[in-house]
Structures are given as C-alpha cells and as structure tokens.
Amino acid sequence: MNWIQLLSLKKQGDTKSRIRKEEKESRVGFEVDYDRIIFSNAFRSLQDKTQVIPLSKTDFVHTRLTHSLEVSVVGRSLGRLVGEQVLAKYPSLTELGYTINDFGAIVAAACLSHDIGNPPFGHSGEKAIGDYFKHGNGERYRLDLQPKEWQDLIDFEGNANGFNVLTASRPGSEGGLRISYATLGAFMKYPKESLPKKPTLEISDKKFGFFQRDKEAFLDVVTELGLIKKEGDDIRYHRHPLAYIVEAADDICYTIIDFEDGINLGWIPEEHALEFLIKIVQNNINSAKYAQLKTKAERVSYLRALAIGSLISDVVTVFMENEESILEGTFGHSLTDKCSYVAQMKDIINISISNVYESKEVIQKELVGYQVLHTLLDKFSTAVNNEHDGTLTHYDSLILKMLPEQYHIESENLYERLMNICKFVSMLTDGKALDLYQAIKVK
C-alpha cells in the first residue's frame, strides 16, 4: 500500500479526482467528513445510547456520544503525531499538499463515527439482534437466505452497520453521508465479509466490516485506496494503516475511561486508581499536585489524563516502528497489544470486567435490552413480511404505522426486508426502544 492512494479525497459519486493541493485550506475535505458525521441524525442518537451501563441516568456515566467525542479527541492527537513522522519519512506527500492536520482530521472523523452503527443497550444489543435470528423466532428465515446473508443476521455487527450508515444511498442522498474514502478506510477496522467467521488470528479478522447488501460500496472503497486483498476467494483485505490508529484511540479510551466510570460510581475502590494507573503515569505524575486534589473525581481525572497521554505517546512509537510492515499487510496485531503498557491495560480491563461489565446492575439492564429488541424485531419483521405476502392483519397494520417512512420500503428480497428492520431497530436510542416496546406491549 502507498500513502498517496491511502489518503484519497474521493467521495461516492465523484466524477473527477480530488487533488489535495486544490482543496481550500479553510475547508479541507477530511474536515468536511467530521462536520457531516457530527450533524447526522445517527450520530445525534448516540447521546441516548449505552456505552457500558444501559439506561443509566447518573451524570458520571459515559454515553456512546461522550465516548465517541473523547475517542475522536485522542484519535486526532494520535493522527497528527503519526502524520508528522509519516510526512518527514515521505516528503513527496508534503509536496502534494498533505499536512499533519489531514492525518488528524481523517482519524478524528473515523473515530467520531466508530460506534455510529451500534444498536441500543451497548454491545449486548448486537448480541440480542443476532440471538433473535439464531435462537429466537427469527430462526424461521434461515432456509430462505444465503449462508453469508444469514451470517450477517446471526452475528449482527455494529461495525458493518456503521459502514452502511455512512455509505448507503437513499432518495435525495446518493452515497449516504458522502465521506472521503480515506476516512472510510480508517473507519474499517475489519475489512472483510461475515464468512469465513474467523479465518486467522489477525486482529483484522476478529469481526467483519460490511454486510452483503453493501458489498459493492465496500469493494469500491478498497479498490480506490489500494488495500491489499488477502489470499482466497472470500472478500478479505488488510487494513488501512490509519484503522490501527482509530482502534488504538478506542482501546485507550474504553480501557481508562470505563475504569474511571467504575471508580466514580463506587463500584471500583478509589485506591485501585492509583494502584493500577501508577505504572502508566509514574514518569509524569506530580505528587505534590496530586496530594492537593480534594475530591475523588478530581484525583481520578488527573490520573486518567496522565495515563491517556502516556498511552498516546507509546502508541505512536509502536506505529512508526511497524509502519512498513503495516503498509505491507504483515502486521496482524492491535497497536496497544504491542505497547509498553499492555500488561497494565489488561489488568485494568480485568477489574472493569469483574466490577462493572459483569455487575448485577449492568446484567439486569442487558436482560431488559434483550427482551425489548427481540420484541421489536419480531413484531416489525412479521408485519413487514406479512404485508409482502398479502397476509397483513389489522395488528400488523398498526405496527407498520409506527415504522418511520424511510424504513417502510417494499422489496421482493427477504434479506433486504430483514436488514431494513434490523437497521431501524439498531438506530433507535435506548429510551426510544424502550418507549416503543412499552407501546407495542400495551397494544
């Protein structure tokens, strides 16, 4: 892979090439990506979507919105620091007009949208949708679908749904949000289809990044960017280099900030903050300043900021040490798995798992999420398919009146109908999903 191709400004529907030198510095295309994402309905809905703790009303807890904004800030710093060194290594990029801010803008926009396709109720929402088709009433559709179509449903993936949100055309909006291909490449942490499920131990094969309905759009992006295809007949590609940076920004934020949430909620003892973070921040901590901080929130916030700064610096080093192998498609790890603080990050994640992710409160609310999403999927998919088959009941017609117009499309293709309902449900906020569930249960 080469950086000139990887930094493509092309957007879906372009009829001519976009040249970096010809961009207005006051509004570079990569910065437009950020603006389009932040003003989208899908991004706005993240304000009422779970990060870790579903349906929580406490001020301490991060939502998908605050998490995405924080990941974007960390990603922008990482992108600029990496960009500075990449431009020094490849002077021709500067001659073409690229700047360190371009790298920061690409990564920031991709980070901003990294959770844009995630359903309500956190990661359990993805599992709930998949479970409905694999073990619930949705299992009845299996024999009428192709294997890869079925896999899209039973392993419903927020990353693939996010790619659809960013790229899917609709009347009057060709090319979705029309994001630059460089940003789309950085967004795609798992550039493969749903099958084979986990063909290798490479990090980019851990999940999948596009649904069968979006195959053409995906292939257009990877071809334009010059991503390297992996061996075999299946659609699997090596990552865009900046996807590693996006992943690292997310890893840093959820590791440190979920830990901070747990401490602020009282689920993790405050002394753990110093115990587990000290090995990351020991070279930067000002002990006198730390001693002057009066509240738990201030002390934890100070340690969190220092930890993120240390991890950012370390990730940049790991990326540049492996930049050539990343371009060759031979680097199969996450950057944080190769950083100096990998043991400390794993210790922190283990504490968060036992005290937060697997807490009684979180599990109880995830159970509510399962019931809500299974009910919505069942009622709406049944109504849509009965309408198609000419067996619509009065109850079905009432359900369909609650389906927003943009999702009420007629298709002869069962897979398209089911994916359309999945997208509708996935785009609901936690609160809206619960309200809709309660309204349907009354009826």
197 pLDDT above the threshold of 90: yes
315 and 253 co-located in one domain: yes
pLDDT per position as a tens digit, 60-109: 567 899 999 999 999 999 999 999 999 999 999 999 999 999 999 999 99
351 and 397 co-located in one domain: no
pLDDT per position as a tens digit, 320-370: 999 999 999 999 999 999 999 999 999 999 999 999 888 888 888 889 899
Supply 265's token pair: 């909620």
Domain boundary among 314, 338, 357: 357
196 pLDDT above the threshold of 70: yes
Query: What DSSP designation does 356 have?
Result: I
251 and 388 co-located in one domain: no
389 contact partners, CB below 8 Å, separation of at least 6:
none
51 and 62 co-located in one domain: yes
Burial of 11 (0-12, 13-18, 19+ CB in 10 A): buried
Comparing C-alpha atoms, which of 318, 320, 298 is closest to residue 310?
Answer: 318
Domain boundary among 326, 357, 388: 357
CATH number for the domain harbouring residue 71: 1.10.3210.10
Supply 400's token pair: 């369909």
pLDDT given for residue 70 in this prediction: 96
146 pLDDT above the threshold of 60: yes
Query: What DSSP designation does 204 have?
Result: G
Supply 255's token pair: 């590791």
Residue 172 lies inside a defined structural domain of this protein: no
Averaged pLDDT score across all residues of the chain? 93
**Using an 8 Å Cβ cutoff, are 315 and 339 in contact?**
yes
Query: What DSSP designation does 353 have?
Result: I
Burial of 30 (0-12, 13-18, 19+ CB in 10 A): buried
pLDDT given for residue 202 in this prediction: 96
431 and 371 co-located in one domain: yes
**Residue carrying structure tokens 């509708």:** 424
Helix (H, G, I), strand (E, B) or coil at 236: strand
378 and 285 co-located in one domain: no
pLDDT given for residue 26 in this prediction: 84
Domain boundary among 357, 383, 415: 357
Domain of residue 145: give its range.
120-149+359-443
Helix (H, G, I), strand (E, B) or coil at 434: helix
**Using an 8 Å Cβ cutoff, are 374 and 136 in contact?**
yes
131 and 80 co-located in one domain: no
User: Picking from 55-69, 154-168, 419-433, which range would have the lowest pLDDT averaged per residue?
Assistant: 55-69
E strands of 53-108, at which residues? none
CATH number for the domain harbouring residue 369: 1.10.3550.10
